Every structure is written in C-alpha cells, then in structure tokens.
Structure 1
Amino acid sequence: MITPEQHEKLLGWFAGRLPDDLFEELVEVTADREEITVIGRIPEPRLAGGAPEAEREAAAHSRIQEFRERSRDARIAVAREAEHQYRRKVSWGVECGGERALFTHVAAPVMTRLRQPERQVLDTLIAAGVARSRSEALAWCVRLVQRHTDDWLAELRESLAHVQRVRAQGPDAEGVSDPSTDGTEDG
C-alpha cells in the first residue's frame, strides 16, 4: 500500500510523462508493492446512430486492440522509466465505450496459512469444478469479495458508525468523569 502523498506523486509523474496524444484522459493509476497499473480513456469508434449493441461492443474491442498495437512503443518507453524509478512493473489498460481492458499485468503469488475449515471451503470449490486447485479457488474467493466490496464496505461502515454512537453514550462520553483518574498528571 502506498501513502496518499506517494499516490499523488505517482499520478503526477504519469500525467507529466505520458505523451499528450496517448489517452483522452488518464483515468486511474494504482500501485501496490509489485505493480503500477495505468488506465486511460481512448476515443470511442464513430458509429451510425442506433448501432446495435453487438456492433458497439465489437467496435470498442477492435479500437482497444488497435490502440494496444499502435501505442506499444510509447508505453514501453514510459514503463521502462517508471520501472527504473519506482522499482515496480508497469501494467496498462484502457476504457473505451464502457469497456475496460487490461493488457499484461502481474499475477503475484501470495502465501497464506489457512485452518482446516478454510481449506475445506477451497476443497469444496475444487470438488464442485469451480476451480482446479486451492490457489485458483482462493483467487476465485478474492474476486467474489472484490465484486461485493462496495456493498460489504458500506455495511461495515454503517456498523462502525453504530459502534461509535454506542461508545459515545458510554462511561467515557463527554461530561462523565473517569473514576480511575484523580485529575492530576503523572510527572
């Protein structure tokens, strides 16, 4: 995890270093210990009004592939500089016509220790054909959590707000003295 200040500097570095004509807009720059991911918006293909959904999707997909090929040299040059400066791999992605596509990106191994009930969850996913290995099953679980993150975090935030309200009504609430102190400071 990087600090907000580090993120701002990273975002500024890419905003300043990317060729002006690479993206319509720099949408997102994210980073962790292994990787920096840069996502930009590219122009949507021009289609006749009322084009069917399948045509719009195919056109966006083709535009993304064209961008990937055309911009490869420029992206590699920027990535080399960033990898040298930040000691992380750089991955790229684009948004076009409501589609988001990631190009090459890092799949970093993660070590974890699981107790038997947790391993049984993974083994059930394997037995059900959802995954071929515990590693794949764990990745599936992480993607499931990621898909529901907003809902679950909103619920968690609501719960934390409730806990804070209850604590505010407790014995340490403003105006209630703490019997364990006599008002003097240790010195």
Structure 2
Amino acid sequence: MKYGHRGRGFGRPGGWQQADLPDPADAADWFAGRLPSDWFEGPATLEIDRDEIVVLGELPLPSTEAERPAAEAGDDADPAEVPQATREGRIARFRESTRPARMQIAAEAQHRYGRSVAWGVTVNGERIMFTHLAVPVMTRLRQPERKVLDTLVDAGVARSRSDALAWTVKLAGQHAESWLEELRDAMRKVDELRAEGPRDL
C-alpha cells in the first residue's frame, strides 16, 4: 500500500495477520515530521505492508554551476541531461552521508510500528532501493500449480520454484494493480464504517 504525505492503513483490524501490529495509519505524518526537510524534493512516499515500511523520496539533482560538472557550467539544469555518472554519484553521496540518520530513524520507526524500514530514492523516474526485506512465504501447491512453476524453471525464466513463484506474483501484481487498489479502497471503507458504527451492541 502506498502512502503520500497522509495516508491510512488497510486491512481488517483484529485479523490474525495484524493482531499484534501497531496501526500504521499515522506513519506518513510521523515520517513527514521526522525526516530532514532537505533530503528529498517534496514529501517522501511510504509503501507499507505487514512486514515492512518502504520510504521513497525524490532525490534532487545538481542544479547550480557549483554542483554540476565543469563541462556543463552555464547550461540550463535539465534533469534528463544530467550524466548518468553524476546521478550515480549523487545517489552514492546521499546514501553514505545519511546512513547514520537513516539507521536511527529506522530504529525509532520499527519500535513505533513493529515493522522493518527499507530506504530508496527515485531519480528522474528511476527507482533505486538501498535495502529491501525479503520475507519467506510458505504455501502448498497441487500438481497443476507446481507444473506452472516447473515450466518456468525448465524454460530458464526462473532458477527455482521459489524464484518462479516470486516472478508469477510480481507479474500478477503488475496486471492486476488497478483491481488490487479498488479492493484496498473497499477494505478501507469497511474499516471506516466499522469505526463509525455503534460501540455497544
């Protein structure tokens, strides 16, 4: 689930998956107040699930003659024309210079929301993740489903059944994103109606 500057969590309160997890509904506001204002262009975007909070921010590119390579001095600052090496250098500088602060913020957020924190940046439309949590998911599949995975492995699309399963989940998510978002919206509305309903029945 993605959050902008403000957002609400989704899911069914009291469900077994989230029974012991703090509500992340105010996470966007908390990070907005906790993150240094000069890290990103605009507010960070949060993607939250039961295991992890992913913090993404747009990284500013060089825009002054002092910051840009000498060969570009005097040109108008066009992000599309900033050399790839300059972008990579800016990302590396941000990652290293903010590491201690990001670790501290992540520890505070994990204590508050009970989830790991991952960091990444977007630069001119490109998404670069610094850290990401890989969570094992156990499932039982019957032979027709196993054959799908084995076909992907035999064709060289995936290295293993687990890799093939991750690939199919990613593919399904890409093609069903609009439907999944509608489903999340519907779940949020149910949560809101439940919260507004009578307490004592």
Instruction: Give aligned-pair identity as a percent.
Output: 50
**1:142–1:3 CA distance, 2 compared to 1 (3 A):** closer
2:110 corresponds in structure 1 to 83
1:3-152 equivalence runs, <5 A: 3=10, 6-46=23-63, 48=75, 56-150=83-177
Q: What is the one-letter code of the residue matched to 1:25?
A: G
Q: Give the Cα separation in 1 of the matches to 2:86 and 2:37.
A: 24
**1:82–1:50 CA distance, 2 compared to 1 (3 A):** closer
Q: Give the Cα separation in 2 of the matches to 1:128 and 1:53.
A: 38
- Does the Cα contact within 8 Å between 1:60 and 1:97 map onto a contact in 2? no
Alpha-carbon RMSD across the aligned residues, in angstroms, is 2.9
Q: Deviations over 1:112-143 (max 9, x none)?
A: 11111110000001101111111000011112
Q: What runs of 5+ residues in structure 2 fail to find an aligned partner? A: 2-8, 12-22, 64-71, 184-201
**1:45–1:146 CA distance, 2 compared to 1 (3 A):** farther
How does the TM-score come out when normalised to structure 2?
Answer: 0.67
- Deviation of the 1:37 alpha carbon: 0.7
Q: Give the Cα separation in 2 of the matches to 1:52 and 1:83.
A: 34
- Does the Cα contact within 8 Å between 1:25 and 1:41 map onto a contact in 2? yes
- Does the Cα contact within 8 Å between 2:62 and 2:77 map onto a contact in 1? no
How does the TM-score come out when normalised to structure 1?
Answer: 0.71
Q: Give the Cα separation in 1 of the matches to 2:81 and 2:165.
A: 33
- Deviation of the 1:61 alpha carbon: 2.7
- Deviation of the 1:3 alpha carbon: 3.2
Q: Give the Cα separation in 2 of the matches to 1:27 and 1:39.
A: 6
Q: What runs of 5+ residues in structure 1 fail to find an aligned partner? A: 158-187
- Deviation of the 1:54 alpha carbon: 8.4
Q: What is the one-letter code of the residue matched to 1:9?
A: D
The higher radius of gyration belongs to 1
Instruction: Report how many aligned residue pairs link the two structures.
Output: 155
Q: Give the Cα separation in 2 of the matches to 1:105 and 1:12.
A: 22
